[in-house]
Each structure stands twice: as structure tokens, then as C-alpha cells.
Structure 1
């Protein structure tokens, strides 16, 4: 019997949430499960989603890092009519066939702005004649909330509606309790999957990446400070001023801004768009400079390359700073503050990072495949129990 899975994902600034959701969807598809992935985003062009049925929801994003407003791609504030359209499209798709698995990426541990859509989706799942397995997929570190009651609400929702919490980290490296004060309450539902990502990708052509400094920024929507400092830092570095610097500009950066970065680049600096062979570049590189997003840090850990992390820390964001500090505690990174970043400070951080011994921190991988296996075992257990 073919099982059907419904995955809901919504990223607001970065693309990491969608990258993980697609990876888990592909892993489920490889186990024979038919997967529908519902998303209100344009998926990154580097993602292979051929095995998935993509449901395009009305698109939405956050205009800034405060995350207290949601806007359409052309900048209009969403209204109640928009919410109704979005909710109805999600529910219609979910009710179009009997799904055996519902997986919500992040929610209820974030994305509370989408409660108008996700609360009815959970209610529909729980009311279905054949109730699906309900699971949530969360990254290694959650963004801390200023109000403790919001975090308690997350635990309450998980206990009330969910069968499984998949935490995509290596528990020897980062545990849920490191960023969630009610981790003990939900512990019976938690399974650590290892990090999602790290699959082999294309080998870079020629000598691209060899002994280079690779500067990257994920999608790039919030990386202007890092990119500007990096473009001027090469002549200031004692340990990397002789290397080629390759600046990878994300696809969320406009073509006009990309051309401006390229025009500003000095000698020894290459500016190009983000590449799918980025992990291969890191394996050849002398050093990585990046923000501290989930996928980038994973690629850095696997490559074993020295790194400078400039965690995105605007507004109330804490996630990247916590992740960067975890790497620094393992002697795997030098952290530079985004708020005080200058070309001089970035060059000094690069020199400090290159003084660290090159080492690999063994990290548990296979998070997508492990997630699919855990969910399949949960499904089989549920079906077995219903037949007993």
C-alpha cells in the first residue's frame, strides 16, 4: 500500500527551512511514499524536487528580520481575505486524498504567524476518518522568545497535537534543551535525526576553490554588511591576502545589487552567484567566511575548513549566534559580530581563524534519511496498532 505524506514548509527570509523539507520529502519518496510539499515560497533553483508534488500556496515573506509583519512578494501587507484564500487552498489540498502523514516544518516551535492556516490543518488531520501520523521537523537551535509563555505554548501544542518531534541535530553537539526551556516536557516525542544535508554534490570544475577564501551568504537577503566588509578586507589580511577570494552572492540578492558588488571587487576577488558545488569549493578552500545558518555550518563541518562566522543577529535573532558559539567552543570557528563588522575586523578574524589547527569535528549526518526511517517506523507501528 502506498502511503501519502503532506509536508508544509514556509521560510520567511532564509532558505534553510525549505532545503530541509525538500530533503526529507525526497527521502520519504525514495522509500515509496507519495509526497506533497506545500510551500508559499519560490524554492531555490539549486534544489532537486522532481520526486515531489509541489503545491504552490499564495506566496509570502517577511520584509525584515523583526518577523512581526508578513507581506506578498510585491510588498503588500497580507489581509484577512488573503489568509482565507491561503487557508482554504491548504485545506483543500490536504482533504483531496487520505494522507497518512502530516509533517509541519518548524510549527509549533515557530511560525506562529501562520496559526490561521496551521491550526485548521491540524484540526482537519485529527478529525480525518483515518487520522494521520502528525510530526514536526525542527532544526538544531530554536529562536528564543522574549516571553516565556510563548515557549510554553509551543510545548502545549506539541503535546496536544503531535506524535513525533524530529530534531535535526547531533545531540553530542547541540541538544533541544540548549535553546528550548521546556525540552523536558516534550522529551518523549523527540528523536534526534542527525543533521539534514551533507550529501555529495558536483565537484567544482578545474581548480575552482583551491586554496581560496570562500565568502558565502546563503540566499543573501540579509547579508549586505558581510558582503561589503568582505569586498574590502583582502588587502588587510596577513594570512590570506595572497589567496584568491571568491564571493558567492545568493539568489535573493537583486541583479542590480549583484552587479554593484561585482563592480566594486578589487584584484584577486571573484564575485559570482551562489553555486550548487559550494560544498566542494569548501573542501578545497583555505578558509570559509559566512553567516552561521544551518546548511552552511553543516557544509563547513563536513569540509573541515577553518572558518569565520558572522552570525545574522539583527532584531531579536539568536539562533545563528548560538550555533556560531557552539562551533567556537569546539575550536572550529572564530566569531565576528555583525553589528561591529568592518573590513579591518573581518581581516583580523580571518587571520585568527587561520591560526587555528585544521580539524574535523565528526558530526552525525543523514538527517533526512533518518527522519524518513523514523516516520516510516512510526507509521508501521500506528497501522499495526490499529489492526490489533
Structure 2
């Protein structure tokens, strides 16, 4: 009988959560697992979901970086009726077949706003006649909470419902305890997988990116300051002002805003939409300028490209700042604060970053494949 897995993922602004969940699902599928990916938001068009059965739940997103409201794609705030429909859709998808594995991306170490749905999902799974193996998949760094009880709740929820906590990092680089004060309570559940990356992605054989400064912003929903500064910074750079600056605008940015950026680009500046061959562009580039999201930083570590990091740090966000500082500590990046960033600051940082060595970091990779192997071993122990 074929092993089956149900993966639930909810991204709100950035797309990194969906990318990691998809790659983990594809690693399981490559090992013969029948994988269903239930997604709570619209997936980015550059994301390859081949090999997976995708279930589109009623989509919802955060309208801003405060993360205290949820809205539908057209901006309508959700209500009790929407929540009830979402729970019904999730439980219907989960009950479509008997699943051997339930994996929730981030929850319970985040996504408390979805406790109405995910709490019901894990309770339903736990109380079933044949409970599935239950695992959670979390990135290298968690967002710290101002209220300590919220973090303790995360640990208690994991202890009550979960069999495995997959941490997608290299413990020699970043450990869970660096951003989670109750890591010791769940230590017996934790397995470090290495960073999740390396899934098949479109490649390019042309010369785009060669000796260029490549500016990227992931989905782009919270990258306005970086993009505005990048449009002007080339003319202020003493070292790389003669290079082509290629600005990749994420697909979460409206077409109107994208055209505005493109129309304002000066000589030597190319503005285009984010590309699936981004890792190849990085390998050919002389410099990367970006935020410090999980997937972008992983691509940077693999490419070895000198980089300027402008971590997203609005509201109470701490994750990207911690990741950027970790790279800076290892001599891999120059960090510029997002708040009030100017073209002159960005140009100065770009000039400084070009003095950094170009070398691939020796961090543990293959996190999706390692995760699949860990879960299959757990499943064998559970079900034989």
C-alpha cells in the first residue's frame, strides 16, 4: 500500500513557507509517497509543484506586516462564516483518504491566528482510529514573541500533539535555542535537517547576470524601501556604478507598481519580474542586494556571491535581522537597516560588500531530502 502524506502550508506575505513545504513534499514524492499539499494562499507562479496533488483552500493573506488581520485576495476582511468555510474545506481535504503522515508547516511555532483551523485539524487527526504520524516543519529562526507565554504554548502544543519537529537549519550555523527559549522542552522531538533547497529549478544558459548587481525581494510585498533605493543607488556607487543593475520585482507587487518601477529605471538599470532562474543569475553576478528571507539567503550561501542584506524588520519582525546578522558574523554580508534606507546608504554598502570573499559557505544543505528520510524512518517505526 502506498504511503500518503498531507501537508498544510499557509503563507501570509512572503512565499518562503510555500517554497519549503513544496520542496519537502517533492522529496517525499520522489521516495514513493502520495503527497497532498493543502495551501491556504495563492501560490507564486514561479513555484513548481509537479509531483504533488495541490488542494487550494479558501485563500487568505495578511494586508501588512503587523499580522493582526486576515483578508481575502480582494482585500475583504474575513469573518466567522469564512472561518467556518475554511475549517470545513481543510477537514474535507484531510478526510478524503486515510493519511499516514500529517505535516503542518510552521504551526504550532507560528500561525496562532489559524488556531481555529489548525487546532481542529490536529485534534481530528489525533483522535482518529489510526492517528497519522504528526510532524511540524519550521525554518532556522523563529520570530520572537513579546509575551513569553505564547512561546511556552508552542512547546506545550508540540508536546501534546506532535511526534517530530523538523528544524531546517545547520545547527553549527543556527540552533533552535537561538530564537526559541523553550527549545529544551521539545529537544527529544527535534531533528535538524540542514537547509531546504536544491530542488529542480529552471536554469538559464545565457549571460544574464554576468558581472551584474542583482537586486531581489522575494515576493516583494514588503520591499518598497529597498526597491526605491535600488533604482537610484547605481549612480552613487564608486565601485559598481559601471555595472548593470538588474532589479527583480516580486509577483506580489501589482502590475501598476511594477510598470512604475520599470518606467523610472535609468541607464544601466534593468527592471523585470522575478525569475525562476534566480540561482543561476546569482552565480554569475558580482553582487547581490536583497532582503534576508530563508530561501534567498540559502541561494546566496550556495552561490557564494558577496551580498548586501536589507532585512525585513517592520512591526515586531526579528527573523530576517537575526539571519542577516548571522551571515555578517561569518563575513558573508554587509547589513543595512531597512528603516529609512537611502540610495546613498545602499550604494555605500554595495561598495563595501564587493570587498568580501566570493566563496560558498560550508553549511549543511539537502534539508528536504533529509526531512523525507527522517519522516519515512519515523513512519516505519510507527506503522512497520
> Which interval holds the TM-score relative to the shorter structure?
over 0.9
Mapped pair 1:63 → 2:63: yes
Mapped pair 1:359 → 2:359: yes
Determine the structure 1 residue equivalent to 2:329.
329
Partner of 2:251, secondary structure, is coil
User: Matches of residues 265-280 of structure 1 in structure 2 within 5 Å?
Assistant: 265-280=265-280
Determine the structure 1 residue equivalent to 2:339.
339
Partner of 1:50, secondary structure, is coil
Determine the structure 1 residue equivalent to 2:248.
248
Q: 2:50, 2:200 → 1: CA distance?
A: 18
Q: 1:202, 1:132 → 2: CA distance?
A: 34
CA contact (8 A) 1:237 1:348 kept: yes
Q: 1:105, 1:207 → 2: CA distance?
A: 37
Count of equivalent residues: 384
User: Matches of residues 1-388 of structure 1 in structure 2 within 5 Å?
Assistant: 1-199=1-199, 201-384=201-384
Partner of 1:214, secondary structure, is strand
CA contact (8 A) 2:23 2:199 kept: no
Q: Detail structure 1 runs of 4+ shifted over 4 Å in the superposition.
A: none
Q: 2:208, 2:111 → 1: CA distance?
A: 39
Q: 1:216, 1:308 → 2: CA distance?
A: 11
What is the deviation of 1:359?
Answer: 2.6
Q: Which runs of 5+ in 2 are unaligned?
A: none
- Cα deviation, 1:354-378, whole Å, max 9, x if unaligned, reads 1222232111111111111100000
Partner of 2:288, secondary structure, is strand
Shifted more, 132-141 versus 348-357: the winner is: 348-357
CA contact (8 A) 1:198 1:302 kept: no
**What is the TM-score when the length of structure 2 is the normalising length?**
0.99
CA contact (8 A) 1:235 1:241 kept: yes
Q: 1:97, 1:232 → 2: CA distance?
A: 54
What is the deviation of 1:307?
Answer: 0.1
Partner of 1:381, secondary structure, is helix
CA contact (8 A) 1:91 1:121 kept: yes
Q: Which runs of 5+ in 1 are unaligned?
A: none
Q: 1:10, 1:181 → 2: CA distance?
A: 24
Partner of 1:99, secondary structure, is coil
Q: 1:366, 1:9 → 2: CA distance?
A: 20
Partner of 2:184, secondary structure, is helix
What is the deviation of 1:200?
Answer: 5.3
What is the deviation of 1:257?
Answer: 0.5
Q: 2:65, 2:246 → 1: CA distance?
A: 27
Give the RMSD, CA atoms, in angstroms: 0.9
**What is the TM-score when the length of structure 1 is the normalising length?**
0.98
Q: 1:91, 1:104 → 2: CA distance?
A: 14
CA contact (8 A) 1:212 1:244 kept: yes
Q: 1:338, 1:48 → 2: CA distance?
A: 30
Q: 1:204, 1:272 → 2: CA distance?
A: 16
Partner of 1:131, secondary structure, is coil
Shifted more, 86-95 versus 139-148: the winner is: 86-95
Partner of 2:121, secondary structure, is helix
- Cα deviation, 1:69-116, whole Å, max 9, x if unaligned, reads 011111111111110110011111112211100000000000000000
Partner of 1:55, secondary structure, is strand
- Cα deviation, 1:187-215, whole Å, max 9, x if unaligned, reads 10000011111345333342111100000
What is the deviation of 1:322?
Answer: 0.3
Q: 1:307, 1:209 → 2: CA distance?
A: 14
Partner of 2:41, secondary structure, is coil
What is the deviation of 1:338?
Answer: 0.4
Q: 1:360 to 1:50 in 2, by over 3 A?
A: closer
What is the deviation of 1:135?
Answer: 0.2
